[in-house]
Amino acid sequence: MTTQPSPYQQYPVADTFGIAAPAKVMALGYADATNPHIPLRDDNYVFRKEFLREMLAFLKDPAGDAMYVTGPTGSGKTSGVSEVLARLNWPLQQITAHGRMELTDLVGHHALMAKTPGAQPEMTFMYGPLALAMRQGHVLLINEVDMMDPAELSGLNDILEGRPLVISQNGGEIIKPHPMFRVVVTGNSCGAGDASGLYQGVAMQNIAAMDRYRFTVVDYADPDVEASILEKVAGRLPVELREGMIRIANEIRRLFVGEDGDSQLSLTMSTRTLRRWAKLSLAFRGADNALGYALEQALLRRAQPEEKDAILRICKDVFGEQWK
């Protein structure tokens, strides 16, 4: 009798994620690297050890929990999740929540579909990301979950407790949860609403629903982490310029978050925007004040005039005579 190979695989954490870890520490994942739902991998991504530890522990054994990843906008919540999954060959079903999203958007709906081009359309049930993830052992990722109507989000409670999904719209079809099915959500709040006023549309979530999540916090990356990122994506920039960019980014973030939640800027500089600024600075290095020209495209053209002036003053303070 031929033994079927296991669809799962253990990955050494140190080699897989490029961090210091004992050789015997392993992470659970899939062996098949060809699934089209595996997220694309960014080889320049730098992992933060605490978040990685908590994420891998959850993926290995959720113990009846879902994972709630919270932190300020642009801190890397979604990218952190997808980069972990990419290296573990773990397929992902992803959706972004909004105030009008209903549970049926996650479960699925009927639609007229032609099986082949030119054929007569037939009413077919189209499975949503929740149904697909449950059946196939994918991770369901709901971004901006605190934008969702609390009553609709509470519809996930039975699923998070391990009960099967019953699709009444499809003749009462029952989907039992795959052993590798996981639920991860991201939000700028912790489900208790937004007291800072920075995030429009954030709703206070049901406390009973929030009790089904374990929480991990993703703040803006430390300067040394961002220095490693910029070295990888824009290593031809002088070190002092890259360090100055990081100082400017952190000052913008400080003003965005504000003291005691009193924000002085309505926009921030994410690590993604910082990378964009560095790469554009290389692309425009022949222009007058390439740093300023690149920053215009990366961030400033969506800033209010007074906010743009404030950011430019920060740049002048950091770079001095180098900033024209």
Domain extent listing, the chain: 8-217, 223-322
CATH architecture for the domain at 8-217: 3-Layer(aba) Sandwich (3.40)
pLDDT band at 200 (very low <50, low <70, confident <90, very high): very low
Q: What is the pLDDT of residues 214-266, one digit of tens each?
A: 999 998 889 998 999 999 999 999 999 999 999 999 999 989 877 555 568 88
Q: Which residue has the higher pLDDT, 211 or 61?
A: 61
DSSP track, 3-51: PPPPSEEEEEHHHHHTS---TT-EEEEES----TTSPPP-TT----HHH
- What is the rounded CA–CA span in Å between residue 258 and residue 197? 11
Percent of the chain surpassing pLDDT 90? 58
Residues 6+ apart with CB under 8 A from 83: 39, 41, 42, 45, 47
Q: Is the pLDDT of residue 204 over 70?
A: no
What is the mean predicted confidence (pLDDT) over 175-204?
69
For the ranges 39-48, 113-122, 159-168, the lowest mean pLDDT is seen at: 113-122
- What is the rounded CA–CA span in Å between residue 170 and residue 164? 14
Q: What is the pLDDT of residues 262-315, one digit of tens each?
A: 568 888 999 889 999 999 999 998 778 889 999 999 999 999 999 999 999 999
- What is the rounded CA–CA span in Å between residue 272 and residue 253? 13
Q: What is the pLDDT of residues 136-149, one digit of tens each?
A: 999 999 998 887 88
Q: Is the pLDDT of residue 56 over 70?
A: yes
Q: Is the pLDDT of residue 203 over 60?
A: no
Q: What is the pLDDT of residues 62-97, one digit of tens each?
A: 998 999 998 888 888 999 999 999 999 999 999 998
- Give the pLDDT score at 193: 42
- Give the pLDDT score at 50: 93
- Give the pLDDT score at 314: 95
Contact status, residue 212 vs residue 66, Cβ threshold 8 Å: yes
- C-alpha distance across the termini of the chain, in Å: 75
What is the mean predicted confidence (pLDDT) over 12-25?
94
| Average pLDDT in the chain | 88
- Give the pLDDT score at 122: 85
Secondary structure of residue 87 in the 3-state scheme: helix
pLDDT band at 207 (very low <50, low <70, confident <90, very high): low
- Give the pLDDT score at 160: 87
Quote the pTM value.
Answer: 0.85
What is the mean predicted confidence (pLDDT) over 127-131?
95
